Structure 1
Amino acid sequence: MGYVYLNGGFICSDQATISVFDQGFLYGDGIFESFRSVNGRLYQFDQHYRRLLQSARALNYPLTFSQQDLEEILLELQRLNELTHGYFRITITRGRGEIGFQHHMDSNLTCLIMAREFSGFGAEHYEQGIRLRVAATRRNAPEAINPQIKAISNLNSLLGKLEARAAGAFEVIMLNNKKHICEGASSNIFWSKGQWVFTPDVSTGLLEGVTRATIMRLCEQKLNLRVVTGEFKLQDLKFADEVFITSTSLEVMPVVKVDDFTINQGTVGPIAKSLRNALRQEMAAAKQN
Structure 2
Amino acid sequence: MFPAYNTNGLPHHDPLVAVAALAEIGYQGVALTIDHYLLAPHDPRCPEQLADLKALLDRHRLDSAIETGGRFLLDPWRKHEPSLLTADPEGRRRRLDFYRHAVDCAAALGSRCVSLWSGRAAGDATSQSSLWDRLTEGLRETCDYAAERGIKIAFEPEPGMWIDTTEKGLRLLDRARHPNLFLTLDIGHLQCQGESPAGRYLRLCGERLIHVHLDDARRGVHEHLMLGQGEVDWEDVLRTLHEMGYQGALAVELSRHGHVGLQAAAEAYAFLKPRLESLPIA
When the two structures are superposed, what TM-score results if normalisation uses the length of structure 1?
0.25
When the two structures are superposed, what TM-score results if normalisation uses the length of structure 2?
0.26
